[in-house]
């Protein structure tokens, strides 16, 4: 734990303040990344293998010149005209690929278990994403409705972080997800505040219209709906209200994305015209015919296996940290997962986690059927307890490979495919390594299209043409 940094009294007094302000009052760890001052205009990667995420093949022995925020030239080693003051990065034995996209990243969440009572630190989360090579995030719901200000601060270069696409609060039924989870799992002093800011209640077509109208003023990248009962006893948005939200969003040129759990959730959301599913169908085993029905909606699905695994396995076995977790999270925080305090999870949530445990063996098959049926699977981590910003996406990609995706397919699900989805373009400005594209780049040892574990052996991360200075935490 990062010291008992806030007394309850202080927190009660501070409730009206923004979460990030509170986090700023606390003892800060040294930053995970810093930016060179001033950032050099030209950087050249020498002798790299450049990964083509479309074919999954890489071309070795190349130099890649970045000027300002763009890829300026790519050519055989030694053939490019490189400005003499350019910073050189040795790429021998390494692969250059596009920066990663986390299509389900909650920047405002804490990743320690709920019982640790850790306060979210969005600024550090942004650093952690970058440290791990994640240069774009779709944040589909924010605990404190600060997502839009944060998105603006990053875009203006005032706050280091991945490019953010934000939805703001989550639209849900009265008492619907995530309200029971906040009631059951968030610290008591935080519940009211989080419920008010993290959700918008929709109980009528009029609510649907007025809520979308209110949010539209903030230029959200997406409207997010909750279409799942968590726990099973909780209410869920009715189909006609899903339709009312989606219609209102579409009439304003906004896209709507849905949290779903069961096949029926996905069909209701799909028929209502939703633009993406933010989870796979994780509550039950589906058939090939059902997968074909999901595919008929022609919208992508973010798998998020890792977050459900994390809850299913909570307390079942020791949680082994990954190398990237050890580099970004103090060991004391990782150790908070070692035992579940008595009473930390109870009642309906205990049953919900049992449901996850009972169906988890079906998730791989569900994903295979969905992929074979033609559903585009995107990689997203769903940052929260047990899913750390950055390391969580690396875990997710390893899980996608376990479901039968090739490493190259998994990498495409975390680069070009989400870039196409986010930009509504077949030829997006990021997500590939090509001349003219935004220089969001990741340099790793070995070849991750051959072995996905190579992705975590990071030699360099570049965001908007700036080579980041990476500083791992001082863990033993």
- Say how far residue 301 (Cα) sits from the centre of its chain: 13
The distance of closest approach from Cβ of residue 326 to Zn ion in the complex, given in angstroms and rounded to an integer, is: 25
CB of 382 or CB of 440, closer to Zn ion: 382
3-state secondary structure of 115: helix
The distance of closest approach from Cβ of residue 305 to Zn ion in the complex, given in angstroms and rounded to an integer, is: 13
| 46 and 90 Cβ atoms separated by less than 8 Å | yes
Q: Per the omega criterion (within 30 degrees of 0), is the bond before 231 cis? A: yes
Pairing of strands 255-260, 222-227: parallel
Strand partners, 259: 226
Report if residue 265 touches Zn ion, rule: CB under 5 A. Answer: no
The distance of closest approach from Cβ of residue 345 to Zn ion in the complex, given in angstroms and rounded to an integer, is: 19
**CA distances to 56, 151, 353, 403, 429 from 406, in Å:** 9, 33, 29, 9, 25
Only segment of 196-204, 216-224, 308-316, 379-387 that touches Zn ion (CB under 5 A): 379-387
Only segment of 54-62, 74-82, 182-190, 376-384 that touches Zn ion (CB under 5 A): 376-384
CB of 275 or CB of 382, closer to Zn ion: 382
| 401 and 413 Cβ atoms separated by less than 8 Å | no
How many other CB atoms are found less than 10 A from the CB of residue 310?
22
Only segment of 24-32, 198-206, 250-258, 382-390 that touches Zn ion (CB under 5 A): 382-390
The distance of closest approach from Cβ of residue 382 to Zn ion in the complex, given in angstroms and rounded to an integer, is: 4
The distance of closest approach from Cβ of residue 104 to Zn ion in the complex, given in angstroms and rounded to an integer, is: 6
CB of 77 or CB of 360, closer to Zn ion: 360
Q: Is the dihedral of CA 32, 36, 42, 47 positive or negative?
A: negative
CB of 43 or CB of 258, closer to Zn ion: 258
Question: What would the DSSP string read from start to end of 183-214?
Answer: HHHS-GGGHHHHHHHHEEE--SHHHHHHHHHH
Report if residue 382 touches Zn ion, rule: CB under 5 A. Answer: yes
| 277 and 353 Cβ atoms separated by less than 8 Å | no
| 146 and 122 Cβ atoms separated by less than 8 Å | yes
The distance of closest approach from Cβ of residue 259 to Zn ion in the complex, given in angstroms and rounded to an integer, is: 6
The distance of closest approach from Cβ of residue 118 to Zn ion in the complex, given in angstroms and rounded to an integer, is: 18
Query: Between 15 and 44, how does the x/- string for binding to Zn ion read (CB under 5 A)?
Result: ------------------------------
CB of 309 or CB of 382, closer to Zn ion: 382
| 367 and 303 Cβ atoms separated by less than 8 Å | yes
3-state secondary structure of 309: helix
Name the burial class of residue 23, with classes exposed (0-12), middle (13-18) and buried (19+) by CB atoms within 10 angstroms of its CB.
Answer: buried
CB of 215 or CB of 302, closer to Zn ion: 302
Interface with Zn ion: number of residues (CB under 5 A): 1
Only segment of 241-249, 284-292, 317-325, 377-385 that touches Zn ion (CB under 5 A): 377-385
Question: What is the rounded CA–CA span in Å between residue 465 and residue 467?
Answer: 6
The distance of closest approach from Cβ of residue 277 to Zn ion in the complex, given in angstroms and rounded to an integer, is: 12
Residue showing the smallest CB distance to Zn ion in the complex: 382
CB of 333 or CB of 382, closer to Zn ion: 382
Q: Which positions ≥6 away from 11 have C-beta within 8 Å?
A: 22, 189, 190
CB of 64 or CB of 305, closer to Zn ion: 305
By CB under 5 A, what part of segment 444-473 binds Zn ion? none
Alpha helices in 230-329 (DSSP H): 239-251, 263-271, 288-295, 305-312, 323-328
CB of 167 or CB of 461, closer to Zn ion: 167
The distance of closest approach from Cβ of residue 429 to Zn ion in the complex, given in angstroms and rounded to an integer, is: 26
Only segment of 24-32, 313-321, 374-382, 453-461 that touches Zn ion (CB under 5 A): 374-382
Name the site residues for Zn ion (rule: CB under 5 A): 382
């Amino acid at each position: 734990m990062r010291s008992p940094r806030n007394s309850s009294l202080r927190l009660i007094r501070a409730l009206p303040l923004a979460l990030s302000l509170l986090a700023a009052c606390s003892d800060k760890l040294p930053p995970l990344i810093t930016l060179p001052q001033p950032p050099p205009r030209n950087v050249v990667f020498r002798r790299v293998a450049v990964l083509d995420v479309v074919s999954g093949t890489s071309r070795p022995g190349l130099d890649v010149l970045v000027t300002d925020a763009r890829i300026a030239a790519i050519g055989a080693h030694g053939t490019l005209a490189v400005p003499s003051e350019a910073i050189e990065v040795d790429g021998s034995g390494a692969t250059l690929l596009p920066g990663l996209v986390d299509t389900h990243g909650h920047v405002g969440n804490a990743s320690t278990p709920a019982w640790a009572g850790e306060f979210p630190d969005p600024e550090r989360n942004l650093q952690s994403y970058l440290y791990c090579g994640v240069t774009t995030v779709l944040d589909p719901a924010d605990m404190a409705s600060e997502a839009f200000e944060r998105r603006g601060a990053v875009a203006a270069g005032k706050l280091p972080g991945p490019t953010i696409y934000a939805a703001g609060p989550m639209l849900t039924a009265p008492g619907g997800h995530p309200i029971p989870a906040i009631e059951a799992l968030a610290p008591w002093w935080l519940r009211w505040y989080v419920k008010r800011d993290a959700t918008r209640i929709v109980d009528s077509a009029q609510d649907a219209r007025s809520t979308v109208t209110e949010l539209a003023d903030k230029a959200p990248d997406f409207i997010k709906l909750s279409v799942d009962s968590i726990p099973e006893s909780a209410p869920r948005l009715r189909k006609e209200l899903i339709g009312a939200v989606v219609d209102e969003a579409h009439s304003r040129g906004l896209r709507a994305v849905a949290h779903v759990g069961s096949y029926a959730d996905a069909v209701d959301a799909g028929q209502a015209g939703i633009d993406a599913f933010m989870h796979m169908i994780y509550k039950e085993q589906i058939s090939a015919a059902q997968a074909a029905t999901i595919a008929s909606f022609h919208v992508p699905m973010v798998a998020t296996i890792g977050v459900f695994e994390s809850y299913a396995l909570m307390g079942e076995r020791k949680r082994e940290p990954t190398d990237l977790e050890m580099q970004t999270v103090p060991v004391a925080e990782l150790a908070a997962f070692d035992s579940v305090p008595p009473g930390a999870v109870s009642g309906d949530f205990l049953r919900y986690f049992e449901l996850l445990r009972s169906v988890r063996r079906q998730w791989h098959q569900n994903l295979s059927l969905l992929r074979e049926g033609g559903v585009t699977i995107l990689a997203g981590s769903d940052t929260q307890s047990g899913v750390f910003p950055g390391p969580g996406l690396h875990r997710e990609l390893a899980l996608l490979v376990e479901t039968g995706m090739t490493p190259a397919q998994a990498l495409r699900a975390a680069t070009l495919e989400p870039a196409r989805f986010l930009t509504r373009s077949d030829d997006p400005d990021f997500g590939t390594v090509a001349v003219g594209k935004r220089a969001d780049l990741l340099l790793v040892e070995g070849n991750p299209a051959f072995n996905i574990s190579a992705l975590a052996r990071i030699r360099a991360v570049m965001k908007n043409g700036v080579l980041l200075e990476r500083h791992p935490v001082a863990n033993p």
